[in-house]
Amino acid sequence: MSVVLEKILVSNQDKASRTMLRYLLEIEGYAVEESSLLDDTCAMMQRTAFDLVLLDAAWDHSMMEQLLGRISQGEFGDALHLILVLPEQLPLETRAYYQQVAISHQIQRPFSPRDLVAMIRRCTHHGRSNLEQDLSALEVCFNEHQLTVTIDEKTIRFAKIEFDLFRYFFMHPNNIFSRKDLLNAIWGKGSEIEERTVDVHIRRLRRGLKPFQLDKQIQTVHGAGYRFAEAVVMAG
């Protein structure tokens, strides 16, 4: 069983944008739901305790004002985080309004996936486990454009799948993931990839991690799946 720490609602009229954001966030380990209508967004926020809502600002302005007012009054819970996604072009009066509203997190298109994920992590404190902090002290760097991982000034290039697998395990130390969990997170839900394909990529990942002496951290949990073991890293 995997452990999902944060739930995110992506509220956006554009299906392609929602699909891209879902893929990006699920790779990072978030549970994602989508809404294509603002009324549905409100209903889902009343029904589910989301940790964060990624709200596109391209909705009707008067409806947005009403929703933002309800959020600021705490109608959907005091713990709810909100990131407002601003379009590339905004009328001056609308831009002025969004600058005045009490929303501390706003991001404007075009933005990089890395910038968005970094903002979400700041909002939710996602992934701040002891393991990640320890590895951060060792200067761990994931470069998603070059598909490289650097630890203590040693850089290794991975294939795309192995890179995504390692980053996903890294963000969830000690969590046990079944093959199906990993297929959904890395290949996407509804993928027709055989579950045993996961085993092949796990073996490749272990080989890739040997130069870092981290290959034994990817442990097989018989009858359950795989995990990235925290204790061995910290002991080493």
Return the half-sphere exposure (C-beta side, CA atoms, 13 A cut-off) of residue 182: 29
82, 57 Cβ separation under 8 angstroms:
no
> In 79-100, which positions are buried (b, 16+ CB within 10 angstroms) versus exposed (e)?
ebbbbbbbeeeeeeeeeebbee
The fold of 7-124 is Rossmann fold (3.40.50)
164, 142 Cβ separation under 8 angstroms:
no
Instruction: Check residues 53 and 89 and name the one with the higher pLDDT.
Output: 53
For residues 117 and 124, give the distance between their C-alpha atoms in angstroms, rounded to a whole number: 10
Q: Does domain 130-235 have CATH number 3.90.950.10?
A: no
Q: Is the pLDDT of residue 121 over 70?
A: yes
Instruction: Check residues 50 and 4 and name the one with the higher pLDDT.
Output: 50
What are the structural domain ranges in the chain? Answer: 7-124, 130-235
Model pTM above 0.75: no
Strands (DSSP E) found in 48-99: 52-56, 81-86
Q: Is the pLDDT of residue 188 over 50?
A: yes
